[in-house]
């Protein structure tokens, strides 16, 4: 469904309150299939994780969910409301908010002003009253400020409200970006790599915060930090080359052979699938080293830190020792 029309939301029959439904979503970029008939559901008051190797289609799926990318086929519904074809600016009114991989904060605004920018869907004063500085506009600004301070309180940064983003640590700036999404009081919260740039010691606090946030919303998280995802997610979807290869509780997903093959380049019969590598076979060309794994989706060769390497574009895939045959190019998502 590649419609770009900006029609109003349509309530679909049979939808469940607060449930995100993704049905057979396909996205193509030219001849490249970024998502291939992906279907999953995310329940309210739960954390649903989306994981997969680099280029698996995770961010593309998140971009579809928030309207940045329109699917070529398939349907999206949230709480029974049809989302397919809606533009991003319409989704805030439906209770959907998202954070980005980058922070996107305004350097010249204070922390609380940055968070207030995410609360405009709750603004009551019109454009002209705001320009004129009328009393209603002043009351509206105070109400938005109160909402922003409450959101900062939820992420533990109320005391930093009057500081500039550049005066905060990276971890705290990430929290400001999260507060900006929370201030809209979303029923569906989409988080793109919230743990990126954080230290190991900062992960438990983030995990506790994510679990807390799921009490009020359906939370969908794209993340590479497996330890975090396994500890906080109620369900995990695994993408590989745009296909959904596993979906279920963390323990079930962790034990799935298809997930092991996607991350390590090995199957139950040994390394690789099809073709021939230096120390194993594989269309994706795994090469086995001493320890660890790595997969590359870009460049002439793929390099693992020390161990299995899988290349997704041209050239060869290289681990610390061993090489693999050329792979097929995948999306950078």
> How long, in residues, is the chain?
333
Domain assignment present for 308: yes
Domain assignment present for 137: yes
Domain assignment present for 134: yes
Q: Is the pLDDT of residue 297 over 50?
A: no
Give residue 123's pLDDT: 61
Distances (CA, A) of 133 to 124, 138, 287: 14, 7, 66
Give residue 125's pLDDT: 54
Which positions ≥6 away from 234 have C-beta within 8 Å? 43, 46, 47, 48, 214, 249
222 DSSP β-pair partners: 50, 192
| End-of-domain residue from the set 168, 185, 202 | 185
Number of domains in the chain: 2
| End-of-domain residue from the set 169, 185, 201 | 185
**Given strand 301-303, what is the order of strands in its sheet?**
301-303, 316-318, 323-324
Question: 199: buried, middle or exposed (CB in 10 Å: 19+, 13-18, 0-12)?
Answer: exposed
Which is more confidently placed, 261 or 136?
261
Domain assignment present for 292: yes
Domain assignment present for 129: yes
The answer to whether 221 and 207 are in contact (CB under 8 A) is no
Give residue 67's pLDDT: 86
Domain assignment present for 12: no
Give residue 132's pLDDT: 53
Domain assignment present for 106: no
Domain assignment present for 58: no
Crossing angle, helix 135-154 and helix 170-182, to 10 degrees?
130
Mean pLDDT for the stretch of residues 60-79: 91
Give residue 134's pLDDT: 55
Which is more confidently placed, 333 or 107?
107
244 pLDDT tier (thresholds 50, 70, 90): very high
Dist. CA 1–CA 33, nearest whole Å? 15
Provide the total of helices (H) and of strands (E) in the chain, helices listed first: 10, 18
Which of 24-38, 119-133, 303-317 has the largest mean confidence?
24-38
Mean pLDDT for the stretch of residues 109-119: 89
In 3D space, the residue among 60, 158, 56 whose CA is nearest the CA of residue 101 turns out to be: 60
Q: Which residue range(s) make up the domain with 290?
A: 265-324
265 pLDDT tier (thresholds 50, 70, 90): low
Give residue 16's pLDDT: 60
Question: 166: buried, middle or exposed (CB in 10 Å: 19+, 13-18, 0-12)?
Answer: exposed
Give residue 135's pLDDT: 57
Dist. CA 62–CA 79, nearest whole Å? 17
pLDDT in tens, 208-231: 999 988 888 899 999 988 889 999
Distances (CA, A) of 157 to 119, 153, 209, 251: 17, 6, 13, 34
Give residue 185's pLDDT: 87
The answer to whether 28 and 72 are in contact (CB under 8 A) is yes
This prediction has a pTM of 0.71
Mean pLDDT for the stretch of residues 55-72: 90
Report the mean per-residue pLDDT for the chain: 75
262 pLDDT tier (thresholds 50, 70, 90): confident
Give residue 266's pLDDT: 57
Distance between first and last Cα of the chain:
21
| End-of-domain residue from the set 185, 207, 238 | 185
In 3D space, the residue among 230, 226, 231 whose CA is nearest the CA of residue 208 turns out to be: 231
244 DSSP β-pair partners: 239
Which is more confidently placed, 197 or 327?
197
Dist. CA 270–CA 71, nearest whole Å? 36
Mean pLDDT for the stretch of residues 2-23: 56
Q: Is the pLDDT of residue 101 over 90?
A: no
């Amino acid at each position: 469904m590649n419609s770009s029309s900006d029609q109003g939301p349509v309530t679909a029959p049979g939808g469940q309150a607060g449930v995100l439904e993704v049905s057979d979503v396909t996205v193509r970029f030219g001849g490249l299939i970024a998502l291939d008939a992906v279907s999953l559901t995310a329940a309210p008051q739960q954390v649903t994780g989306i994981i997969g190797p680099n280029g698996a289609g995770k961010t593309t799926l998140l971009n579809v969910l928030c309207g940045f990318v329109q699917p070529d086929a398939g349907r999206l519904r949230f709480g029974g409301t049809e989302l397919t074809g809606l533009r991003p600016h319409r989704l805030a009114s439906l209770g959907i908010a998202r954070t980005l991989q980058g922070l996107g904060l305004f350097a010249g605004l204070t922390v609380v002003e940055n968070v207030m920018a995410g609360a405009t869907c709750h603004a009551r004063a019109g454009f002209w009253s705001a320009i004129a500085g009328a009393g209603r506009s002043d009351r509206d600004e105070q109400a938005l400020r109160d909402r922003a301070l409450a959101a900062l309180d939820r992420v533990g940064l109320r005391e930093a409200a009057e500081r500039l983003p550049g005066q905060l640590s990276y971890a705290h700036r990430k929290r400001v970006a999260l507060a900006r999404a929370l201030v809209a009081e979303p029923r569906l919260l989409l988080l793109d790599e919230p743990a990126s740039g954080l230290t190991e010691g900062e992960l438990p606090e983030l995990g506790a915060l994510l679990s807390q946030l799921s009490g009020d919303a359906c939370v969908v998280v794209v993340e590479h930090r497996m330890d975090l995802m396994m500890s906080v997610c109620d369900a995990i979807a695994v993408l590989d080359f745009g296909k959904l290869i596993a979906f279920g509780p963390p323990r079930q997903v962790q034990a799935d052979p298809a997930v092991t093959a996607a991350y390590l380049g090995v199957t139950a019969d040994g390394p690789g699938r099809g073709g021939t590598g230096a120390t194993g076979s594989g269309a994706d060309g795994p090469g086995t080293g001493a320890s660890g794994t790595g997969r590359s989706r870009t460049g002439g060769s793929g390099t693992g830190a020390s161990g299995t390497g899988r290349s997704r574009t041209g050239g060869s895939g290289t681990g610390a020792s061993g090489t693999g045959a050329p792979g097929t190019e995948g999306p950078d998502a």
